[in-house]
Structure 1
């Protein structure tokens, strides 16, 4: 058993309740817990599938925005910032995984109470006699260690008998109690454990606000990226076909309006059956990234051959560019509000940390490779904007890295068009992100979800418009996706990634009285959830907050 004093807990021979060993009892608890599930897990995923799908989420916008950030901060500082962000994000991701198991355990224990109270009279009498006999024999370790903070158990079956049975069952069968049966989203976890008093409710509301700001920022970044890439694709196609180049601002504005009217009806559709389409988009994304890296490597080799190593000046350390990389790093690693959907379907849920660290490590090497070749290939180009004509001049690294490839003349310019257009595939992600934001807002406000068969209710339409209007307004005002990332990622994203999982785990452990001295071995228990880990996360959170604020407002 984990924790100090484990040896004093009842052994297999000294069980208070032999029923905690009986399969029929354990099966009833599991079935009752399964019946309480509202958000089912869906189809199972293997370890490799989990890694691939997590990498797909990680290789979204960030791969396109990091090269510009590295150009501002330097390759050494940039690499260090990403590494530090990934380490802390991995720690807090394990917090989130454990909190998810405890949120499920809370439902399991409610189901357990229900099953115990529905037992025949003679069974309940036998359980009560077990407690009375143990009390006479003065075996107190179980009661003391797992019920220490509770009030004195009331008499009768509902009181001490149920509490003592649950305490022993938690020790003897943690793999059943702490199994993830339901995807409990980050905000919903807060609702389950932050409801004791006014302070708890304020913290729960604060978590919802941070999640909403971050998801609003995600939608905004997606909208700006999709429309900017779509506009450049149209300009590139016009040049390639020999048509006069249209006005860039007008094309962009038309794209924003068109994408809004494409997205709006999709927000009322059932998007659960889009797995095949998602897989196609995923492989297109991986193909585009492979081309970005390959072309970057070829351009770097070409430049090294023409100019020599001594002529290459790569920025190494520019502290003034801290926020440019850090905002992107938070955006990259801020997967915590998606973790329930990512790790819950794993066939072996205990491998969730390994899935996360494998995906993080792979993406880290990929980003360093892309950014390094980008700096060698294009950092010293004299043009600030690339030619839209295939075969034209290249330019300095752009805020969206794929825009550096419009002069590429491979396959008559078709490859360049593919790279320009591939971020527009994220148009499929806008409704999903918008629906997630709408559902989070509705859950917080207590608005009942609309019937999928009749989605056009007044509340559903109102919430959808409240979600879509601000991001598309932002897109009409600015095309600076880096500004969106720096402000939203530097504050809301930082809080969702670092602070919220830690707060939730602390309260989850308190809810089940899982203190160090009488904790139990259980699936997905975080190795970092201790005083040292909490202190490290808190200090780095405050340091990052200070540096972001200083850079954005006082420099």
Structure 2
């Protein structure tokens, strides 16, 4: 990555930023998408995927506009009050470090970057990394800031619960199948119940909870300390991710090409839309990481076009992965974690490939869990922080890590239904982060910018969706999604 080196690291080209953004969005959610596609029907799934991709692109442009407006206001304040520049610098760095610096998607895909600044004649040039938490503090009142942190915290709890369930579930599926010598049975994995025997006297659910306990004991202690992910570990996990995705797509295409495809997905199945919606929202999540992702881009002249290109590529990838899956495997045989469908020798003859795909989530998720936990812990500390105050050692080092770690582990102990966990996390907290927060940010930043800089100030990074109608449309859509998902959950529970 060539570019100007600042005190925070290296800038990178727009096309490198495009690759980073692709890696940022395409993560764990993609592994639960095939089953959600099969449950909702291929036509409904395709239409909803395209529409939610469009909505995510729109709110991404909202966040970019808010980033530029925040930079303009910070630059204007430094110009108007040069004596306060040092104070602004320190507060910006503090906010960036404490608020969202280790946020989920940045931690999963991006090098860790600090605040970077360089002089620019353009007031709206994005040169300062202003995180979502700092933008909330600039544009929202106290109630809005607290609601922002509440939404972020709920989302991170959902993330941790998904990760805490995915690793033991993958280990249980692979090791129990191997122990029972049924990994070559086409129906084996989909027919098993939690009460079936795994090995010896242990049931499958016992093996799952044993793996969960080991996972918690090994990775949980990191919550009590500060951790950072190295650039080389990110490269390794990204490489493993793309080897796994490419292998699954090729294997599914080969199987379909040989006439062995078993999938006959329905056109539409409305009962599966609730989970599909949550999975798709979760799979397009990137808004909370955009400041760390886009600020280091050296040239932002065509930033919106590059973001649009990224979304088109991501839609194509999600479609390819999901359509090959639903036509390769029967809908009732697709597992929550798609990689596990390839841990069978009727699909993959080479044992090493079967175990690599089956255990792939274990390697990638385990490296991200500690960083998400530390991020959540820091957000709890920031939410309750009072200026000038410090926490007692026991509260700082015991209470906050404990309330961070225990709830998601308890959720994972009670259920390993990954599709439901991803669906609920995306449908509720994901809706807030992806729709509600960006809409309010762009609305308030436009109003504040006009008040501070005058109606003639032109934001060069303003969203193509600049009319207030689009802000209202996003908020109405978020409200509809909330009631739709809630109603579906209530009806599902009533049927049970």
Q: TM-score, normalised by structure 2?
A: 0.80
Structure 2 residue 304 is the aligned partner of structure 1 residue 367: no
- 1:452-494 Cα deviation digits (max 9, x unpaired): xxx9764143212211111111111100112222222111211
Q: 1:250 to 1:321 in 2, by over 3 A?
A: same
2:342 matches 1:342: no
1:230 shift after superposition: 2.4
Residue among 314, 334, 339 paired with 1:402: 339
- In the other structure, the counterpart of 1:225 is 166
Q: Which of 253, 258, 261 is matched with 2:209 structurally? A: 253
1:323 aligns with 2:271: no
Equivalent position to 1:283, from 239, 255, 262: 239
Query: 1:423 maps to which residue?
Result: 361
1:482-501 correspondence runs (5 A): 482-501=419-438
Aligned to 1:266: 222
Q: Deviations over 1:56-86 (max 9, x none)?
A: 2222212211111111111111011111111
Partner residue, 1:521: 458
Q: Which residue of 2 aligns with 1:162?
A: none
**Bigger mean CA offset, 530-539 vs 69-78:** 530-539
**Structure 2, unaligned runs of 5 or more:** 1-5, 86-118, 184-197
Quote the Cα distance in structure 1 between the aligned partners of 2:215 and 2:265: 38
Structure 2 match to 1:180: 126
Bigger CA drift: 220-229 or 418-427?
A: 220-229
Distance 2:378 2:301 in 1: 28
Other-structure match for 1:7: none
In the alignment, which of 377, 389, 395 is matched to residue 438 of structure 1? 377
Contact 1:303 1:377 (C-alpha < 8 Å) held by counterparts: no
Distance 1:84 1:186 in 2: 25
Residues of 1 paired with 2:280 and 2:295: CA distance?
24
Q: Report how far residue 397 of structure 1 moved.
A: 1.1
Measured after TM superposition, the shift of residue 536 of structure 1 is 2.2
1:466 matched to 2:403? The reply is yes
- Superposed displacement of residue 269, structure 1: 5.1
* Pair 224,356 (structure 1): closer, same or farther in 2 beyond 3 Å: farther
DSSP 3-state at the match of 1:177: coil
Using the alignment, how far apart are the partners of 2:337 and 2:357 within structure 1?
11
- The answer on whether the counterparts of 2:136 and 2:148 sit within 8 Å (CA) in structure 1 is yes
The DSSP-based 3-state class of the residue aligned with 1:518 is coil
Contact 2:158 2:421 in 1 (8 A): yes
Distance in 2 (CA, whole Å) between partners of 1:544 and 1:460 is 38
CA contact (8 A) 1:174 1:522 kept: no
- Give distance in 2, aligned partners of 1:102 and 1:213: 27
- The answer for the alignment partner of 1:20 in structure 2 is none
Q: CA deviation at 1:342?
A: 1.3
Alignment deviations for residues 510-552 of structure 1 (CA, whole Å, 9 cap, x no partner): 2222699924333321121322211321232232223212212
SS in 1 for 2:450: coil
Q: 2:64, 2:444 → 1: CA distance?
A: 14
1-structure distance, mates of 2:337, 2:120: 48
**1:77 aligns to what SS in structure 2?**
helix
Residue-by-residue CA offset, 1:148-201 (whole Å, 9 max, x unaligned): xxxxxxxxxxxxxxxxxxxxxxxxx9854323333322222111222xxxxx32
- Aligned residues between the structures: 436
> Is the contact between residue 449 and residue 460 of structure 1 (CA under 8 Å) also seen in structure 2?
no
In structure 1, what is the equivalent of residue 26 of structure 2? 59
Deviation at 1:46, TM superposition (A): 2.2
- Mark the CA change 1:298 to 1:450 in structure 2 (over 3 Å): closer, same or farther: farther
Question: In 2, Cα distance between the equivalents of 1:192 and 1:181?
Answer: 17
Q: Which residue of 1 aligns with 2:328?
A: 377
In 2 relative to 1, CA 43–439 (structure 1 residues): closer, same or farther, beyond 3 Å? farther
Residues 440 and 57 (structure 1 numbering): CA distance in 2 closer, same or farther, change over 3 Å?
same
Task: Please provide the CA RMSD for this pair.
Answer: 3.1
Alpha-carbon shift at residue 116 of structure 1 (Å):
8.1
Does the 8 Å CA contact 2:435/2:474 hold for their aligned counterparts? yes
C-alpha distance in structure 2 between counterparts of 1:55 and 1:340, whole Å: 15
Match of 1:141 in 2: none
Residue of structure 2 in register with 1:215 after alignment: 156
| C-alpha spacing 1:77/1:99, structure 2 compared with 1 (3 Å) | same
Q: 1:443 to 1:351 in 2, by over 3 A?
A: farther
Structure 1 contact 399–482 (Cα < 8 Å) conserved: yes
Verify: 1:294 aligned to 2:250, yes or no.
yes
| Residue 80 (structure 1) aligns with | 47
Of residues 488-497 and 504-513 in structure 1, the stretch that sits farther from structure 2 once superposed is 504-513
Write the distance in 2 (CA, Å) between the matches of 1:236 and 1:448: 55
Q: Distance in 2 between matches of 1:336 and 1:275?
A: 22
* Long gaps (5+) in structure 1: 1-33, 35-39, 119-172, 195-199, 385-395
Q: How high is the TM-score relative to the length of structure 1?
A: 0.72
Match of 1:390 in 2: none
For 1:512, which of 444, 449, 458 is the aligned residue? 449
Deviations 1:230-264 (A, max 9, x none): 22233355457999576322221121111112223
Contact 1:65 1:328 in 2 (8 A): yes
- Match of 2:473, SS state, is helix
